[in-house]
Every structure is written in structure tokens, then in C-alpha cells.
């Protein structure tokens, strides 16, 4: 009897060490799952932001390229013009009343005629074949040699002087001192200036006045009150470039035309 040994029998309710290791706390499981979901949501949020930012940058780049492309497509001649590098901009006082009465180009006088002659006096410049190709000059046009280098190219003129000559011809006709005999020449100049004005489409704004003071001075009932400043391309810079690159003077052109 004394040799009998008793062993403890574990109760079903008492957890074993293995069961303790295998069992998990439900609260801990929920917290871990919640944290994982939160991290996943944050990652998706950042990914969505990155995608939206990339799309926005792509649309911005596309719109910028299209805008630049449109400008290039609509203004190929200006972009290729050899005078472009010397273009300067200046802010000038704009005023149509009463300063226009003091303009050297207004009125009928020898001084006004001389002012217009000086304004439109510009000869031809020389275009290389490469520049002429960019400008769209037809290869079938007659070429000429540069008087100093002998390079083959084309004689050309700067448009602003051609436009001013047309304006001067119309001014002289209106003054009764013109020399245009063919009506077609008048229509041609009118059409040239119309195209030029519409091409540039000046968006400046002016006010209209119709006071009794203006009527008493003999001015029209509706007077343009265009005062203030405007930004202009420097005409003098263009004229200087034209003078420096002149290969045939205006006088030479006149004598050549008379010879024909």
C-alpha cells in the first residue's frame, strides 16, 4: 500500500500550456486587422494622389504643346523672318486727340510730303535660299547675287515699308495730289491694308465722346478719346535693320522700274 503513487489528473477546464500558446485574444486580432486595413487605405490614397498628379501634369504638357504648336502654325512667316532677332518693344503714349493735329505726317504741306517720303524710304534686303525656303518663297522666282559675297538668293523687302507706301499713295489720292491712274492700284492698296489690320487685330480699347465743345470746334459729333499707353514693336529698330542689310536702294528700284 505504501508503494502506491498518485498522479494528478488535469481537469478539462484547466488550460494546458499548448492551448495557451494556440489561443489568441479576439481584441488583439481585431486591432491588428484594423491596423492592416488602415495602412492599406493610406497606401491606396497616396497611389491615387500620384495617379491624379501624373494625369494633371500630362494634360498640362499636352495643352502647352498644342498652344505652342498653334502659334507656330499660325505665324510661320514671323518666326522665320530674319529681322525677328532685332525686334524691340517700347511703351508709347497713345493719343488721337488733339495731338494728331501736330503730327508731321498730317496736313497738306511740303514738310508733310518730305516726312512721308522719309518714312517710306527703304530699299531691298537680301534673303538666302535657306531663309527664303522657310518663308515660303517660291523656288521658281528669279534669283540674284549678293553684291558683296556673290551668294545666290533673293531680293526682298520688309512688309511695313510696303504697307506704308500703300497708305501714302491713298493719302495723296485723298489730298488730290496722287499719281495713281488705275483704280485697280487703289483697290490693291486698300485690300493690302485691310488684310494687315485684320491680321494684327489691335485689341486696344478707346472711349467715344460727343460733347458740345467738340461740336463747337467743328470736330465730328463722335470723337475717339484714345488716350493712355500702348506697347509697340520698335519701328526704328526695324528700319535700322533694313538699312544695315540693304542691297538695293529705293532710288535704284525706281530707276530700274523707269528703265523697264
Q: What is the pLDDT of residues 227-254, one digit of tens each?
A: 677 888 999 999 999 999 898 765 555 4
Query: Is residue 61 in some structural domain?
Result: no
Of residues 51 and 38, more confidently modeled: 51
163 and 135 Cβ atoms separated by less than 8 Å = no
Read off φ and ψ for residue 106, nearest 5 degrees: -100, 155
Nearest to 119 by CA among 77, 162, 170: 162
Query: Is residue 64 in some structural domain?
Result: no
Query: Is residue 178 in some structural domain?
Result: yes
Query: Is residue 158 in some structural domain?
Result: yes
Number of domains in the chain: 1
Per-residue confidence band for 211, with pLDDT thresholds at 50, 70 and 90: low
Q: pTM to 2 decimals?
A: 0.61
Query: Is residue 124 in some structural domain?
Result: yes
Instruction: Tell me the pLDDT tens digit for each residue of 94-104.
Output: 766 666 778 88
Instruction: Tell me the pLDDT tens digit for each residue of 62-98.
Output: 554 544 444 333 344 455 688 888 888 888 877 666 6
Nearest to 92 by CA among 201, 185, 230: 230
The C-alpha atoms of residue 143 and residue 133 are separated, in whole angstroms, by 13
Q: In this model, does residue 21 exceed pLDDT 60? A: no
252 and 100 Cβ atoms separated by less than 8 Å = no
Query: Is residue 168 in some structural domain?
Result: yes
Peptide bond into 222 cis (omega under 30): no
Query: Is residue 105 in some structural domain?
Result: yes
The total of other beta-carbon atoms located within 10 Å of residue 223's CB is 20
Question: Which residue range(s) make up the domain with 237?
Answer: 97-242
Query: Is residue 17 in some structural domain?
Result: no
Amino acid at each position: 500500500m505504501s508503494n502506491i503513487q498518485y498522479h494528478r489528473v488535469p481537469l478539462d477546464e484547466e488550460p494546458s500550456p499548448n492551448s495557451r500558446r494556440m489561443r489568441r485574444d479576439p481584441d488583439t486580432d481585431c486591432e491588428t486587422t484594423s491596423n492592416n486595413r488602415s495602412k492599406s487605405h493610406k497606401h491606396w490614397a497616396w497611389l491615387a494622389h500620384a495617379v491624379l498628379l501624373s494625369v494633371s501634369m500630362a494634360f498640362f504638357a499636352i495643352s502647352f504643346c498644342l498652344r505652342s504648336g498653334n502659334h507656330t502654325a499660325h505665324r510661320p512667316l514671323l518666326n522665320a523672318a530674319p529681322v525677328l532677332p532685332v525686334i524691340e518693344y517700347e511703351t508709347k503714349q497713345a493719343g488721337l486727340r488733339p495731338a494728331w493735329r501736330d503730327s508731321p505726317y498730317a496736313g497738306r504741306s511740303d514738310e508733310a510730303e518730305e516726312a512721308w517720303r522719309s518714312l517710306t524710304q527703304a530699299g531691298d534686303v537680301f534673303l538666302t535660299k535657306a531663309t527664303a525656303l522657310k518663308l515660303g518663297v517660291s523656288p521658281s522666282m528669279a534669283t540674284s547675287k549678293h553684291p558683296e559675297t556673290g551668294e545666290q538668293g533673293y531680293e526682298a523687302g520688309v512688309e511695313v515699308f510696303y504697307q506704308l507706301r500703300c497708305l501714302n499713295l491713298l493719302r495723296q489720292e485723298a489730298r488730290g495730289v496722287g499719281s495713281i491712274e488705275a483704280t485697280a492700284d487703289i483697290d490693291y492698296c486698300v485690300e493690302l491694308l485691310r488684310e494687315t489690320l485684320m491680321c494684327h487685330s489691335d485689341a486696344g480699347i478707346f472711349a467715344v465722346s460727343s460733347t458740345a465743345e467738340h461740336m463747337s470746334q467743328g470736330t465730328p459729333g463722335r470723337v475717339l478719346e484714345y488716350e493712355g499707353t500702348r506697347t509697340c514693336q520698335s519701328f526704328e529698330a526695324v528700319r535700322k535693320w533694313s538699312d544695315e542689310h540693304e542691297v538695293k536702294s529705293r532710288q535704284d528700284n525706281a530707276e530700274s522700274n523707269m528703265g523697264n
